[in-house]
Amino acid sequence: MARYTGPKTKICRKFGEPILGNGKYLDKNSVPPGQHGASRKRKAPSEYSIQLKEKQKAKYTYGLLERQFRKTFEEAARIKGVTGENLIILLESRLDNTVYRMGISPSRPAARQLVSHKHVMVNDTVVNIPSYQLKPGDVITIADKSRESESIKSLMRPRNPKIGWVDFSETQMSGTFIALPARENVPENIKEQLIVELYSK
């Protein structure tokens, strides 16, 4: 399964946000990454570079490489409605992202690993495809063989109460993808319209 495996702190510093879950170094060094980061004079970014940076931010946030991200965007464009909002909804409806949103794992990469290693079931069937698209009403559970795993239990975190489109019971090791999220309820700082403009060129 293709995924980004490079330095996470560098990416967080590039965007000035803890998009990969590691923001502890953001305040320590505000100098841009690179050998000449401190002295390099930067030109005002072009419209294209701003749009490209926003797409890269979304890709890193949700853990997709270019081919898969482009495929998701094309699917969003086919769905009735606003393409940018559809894109965010499709990204949020991924199985790995939902496992993260439920608090089963502390980060999306950790959630992706749980799914890939067959620790997660959807409607009583093991699904090991992180990009699997969930539908409202789908029930997500920890596989029977994994329920007593201390390593999995140690990953769990309290679910953010603002994430109202999913629920999860730690005692039952089960949760529900209640509904498709409304864009205004998704906390990620992504300007999806810039991505739409980039792909429309």
pLDDT for 159? 83
d(CA 67, CA 75): 13
78 falls within a domain: yes
Same domain as 173, residue 126 = yes
**Taken in order 116, 119, 122, 126, is the CA torsion positive or negative?**
positive
- Report which of 74, 72, 52 is spatially closest to residue 195, judged by C-alpha positions: 52
160 falls within a domain: yes
Same domain as 145, residue 81 = no
d(CA 120, CA 68): 22
65 falls within a domain: yes
Same domain as 84, residue 116 = no
- Burial of residue 132 (CB within 10 Å: 0-12, 13-18, 19+) is middle
Same domain as 111, residue 72 = no
> Which comes out higher in pLDDT, residue 3 or 159?
159
Per residue in 27-74, pLDDT (tens digit) is: 555 565 566 655 666 678 899 999 999 999 999 999 999 999 999 999
**What residues contact residue 75 under an 8 Å CB cut-off, 6+ apart?**
86, 90
Per residue in 124-163, pLDDT (tens digit) is: 999 999 999 999 999 999 999 999 999 999 999 888 888 9
Indicate if the pLDDT at residue 1 is higher than 50. Answer: no
pLDDT for 200? 92
Tell me which residue range forms the domain holding 13: 8-30+44-90+193-199
Same domain as 51, residue 112 = no
CATH value at residue 23: 1.10.1050.10
Same domain as 158, residue 112 = yes
The total number of structural domains in the chain stands at: 2
126 falls within a domain: yes
185 falls within a domain: no
Same domain as 138, residue 100 = yes
Per residue in 95-123, pLDDT (tens digit) is: 999 999 999 999 999 999 999 999 999 99
> Can you spell out the DSSP letters for 64-131?
--HHHHHHHHHHHHHSSS-HHHHHHHHHHTBHHHHHHHTTSSSSHHHHHHHHHTT-EEETTEE---TT
Same domain as 71, residue 23 = yes
Same domain as 157, residue 81 = no
d(CA 142, CA 151): 13
Q: Residue 9 has what DSSP assignment?
A: H
Same domain as 49, residue 106 = no
35 falls within a domain: no
